[in-house]
Amino acid sequence: MASEKDYAVQFVAREQAELRAVERDSTPLAPDEIAGRSLVTLISAGTESTGSYTAEGNFPRGSGYAAVFEVESVGSDVDDVKPGDCIFCMGNHQSYQRIKRDAGLLVPEGLAPEVAVFARLMNVSLTTLTTTTARPPERVIITGLGIVGNLAAQNFTNAGYEVTACEPVETRRNVAIECGLKNVLSTVPVEDPEIAGTVGLVVDCSGHEQAVLDGCNVVRKKGEVVLLATPWRRYTEMYAHTVLHAIFHKYVVVRSGWEWELPNQPTEFRTNSIYGNLAAGLRWLAEGRMSVGPLAMKIAPDDPQTVYQNLLHRRSERLTYIFDWTEV
């Protein structure tokens, strides 16, 4: 029997993306696997366009961050999922998904796939939310309003914090306001005596040294500055001593915002987990507590090169793209 053909977005050279035909794995499903046709996949604008899209070597390679697919078949041990169900997973940009059952979550009834897929990028900052020592209703500042920062600001607002979102790019500020965020500034209010020294947590989603220094100068004593964004490149001529001076004299706690600090599933004496947070994200989306419509453009995956170039050079009106696989 000839193997079935699927399609996948692949990076075929540095800064070169194509939609290519790929052969489907024809081996029978394992007892704990589920599989089906992709409905939508979501691009992580930073990790994919700034990271893997521009990286050298290992071509061709797949890409992707999050997917929602419709189940077509299930393994013999799977009894809580049936054909026709919609599943969220950390899938690649491809027309067919095949995963372990415990790597997927049922999409709540009535939640559109193009909305549900945002649970993945919500999860990046949900790790920080569940590990920070700052507690509501403390002040939180989010620096950088790309897709991760925008969702971080919404996450912390939903959790009861007093959130200020800071972004120098006007178009991103406008998207944040369109999403319902109230306190949106162009810079961190380091010189505002009513805010400086009163902030419990700064979450840097920019990867910019100046934003980190501003965060250190605005938090209260023993406040946290969490580095959520990857520092892809150097932006300033700042000396490390400048940041170290602020950390030492202002008693700042600076730490990584590594998403995978949490275990995949809850463990004894530790209830927070990656998949627990993903489930919470899906629930918040289903409850209408997140505004994601302004964040992305939904587009067919037939011209991924233009999509990734737009993201890399910030030519898009929105923060990222959703690939629609229903016509592929």
HEC-encoded secondary structure of 135-158: CCCCEEEEECCCHHHHHHHHHHHH
Is residue 166 domain-shared with residue 102, that is, in the same domain?
A: no
Element of type H or E holding 71: strand 66-74
User: Is residue 266 situated within a structural domain?
Assistant: no
Is residue 257 domain-shared with residue 140, that is, in the same domain?
A: yes
Is residue 114 domain-shared with residue 192, that is, in the same domain?
A: no
User: Is residue 179 situated within a structural domain?
Assistant: yes
* Number of domains composing the chain: 2
Distance CA 62, CA 270 (A): 34
pLDDT for position 3 = 61
Q: Which two tokens stand for residue 228?
A: 């959520």
Which residues constitute the domain of residue 195?
Answer: 122-261
Which segments of 236-313 are extended strands (E)? 253-256, 296-299
pLDDT for position 1 = 41
Distance CA 136, CA 156 (A): 9
**pLDDT, averaged in runs of 10, over the chain (328 residues):** 80 96 94 98 91 89 95 97 98 97 97 98 97 97 97 98 98 97 97 96 96 97 96 90 95 96 87 94 98 97 96 92 96
> Which of 243, 261, 279 finishes a domain?
261
Distance CA 43, CA 80 (A): 29
What is the layout of strands, in order, in the sheet containing 253-256? 184-185, 162-166, 139-143, 199-204, 219-227, 253-256
Is residue 208 domain-shared with residue 224, that is, in the same domain?
A: yes
Question: How far lies 77's CA from each of 32, 101, 102, 266, in Å?
Answer: 6, 9, 12, 22
pLDDT for position 230 = 87
Is residue 108 domain-shared with residue 130, that is, in the same domain?
A: no
User: Is residue 274 situated within a structural domain?
Assistant: no
Q: Residue 183 maps to which CATH number?
A: 3.40.50.720
Is residue 126 domain-shared with residue 250, that is, in the same domain?
A: yes
> Which of 244, 261, 278 finishes a domain?
261
pLDDT for position 125 = 98
Q: Taking the C-alpha atoms of 176, 181, 185 and 188 in order, what is their torsion angle to the nearest 10 degrees?
A: -110
User: Is residue 154 situated within a structural domain?
Assistant: yes
pLDDT for position 50 = 83
pLDDT in tens, 103-117: 999 999 999 999 999
User: Is residue 106 situated within a structural domain?
Assistant: yes
Is residue 107 domain-shared with residue 136, that is, in the same domain?
A: no
> Which of 211, 245, 261 finishes a domain?
261
Provide the residue type at 179 as one letter: C
User: Is residue 69 situated within a structural domain?
Assistant: yes
What is the layout of strands, in order, in the sheet containing 61-62? 16-23, 5-13, 61-62
pLDDT for position 49 = 86
User: Is residue 20 situated within a structural domain?
Assistant: yes
Is residue 17 domain-shared with residue 108, that is, in the same domain?
A: yes
User: Is residue 282 situated within a structural domain?
Assistant: no
Q: Residue 77 maps to which CATH number?
A: 3.90.180.10
Distance CA 142, CA 152 (A): 7
Q: Which two tokens stand for residue 246?
A: 């602020």
Q: Which two tokens stand for residue 177?
A: 């306001």
pLDDT in tens, 224-258: 999 999 888 889 999 999 999 999 999 999 999 99
Is residue 81 domain-shared with residue 185, that is, in the same domain?
A: no
Radius of gyration of the chain (CA): 21
Distance CA 132, CA 140 (A): 11
Is residue 37 domain-shared with residue 87, that is, in the same domain?
A: yes
pTM score, whole prediction: 0.94
Is residue 46 domain-shared with residue 137, that is, in the same domain?
A: no
Is residue 236 domain-shared with residue 306, that is, in the same domain?
A: no
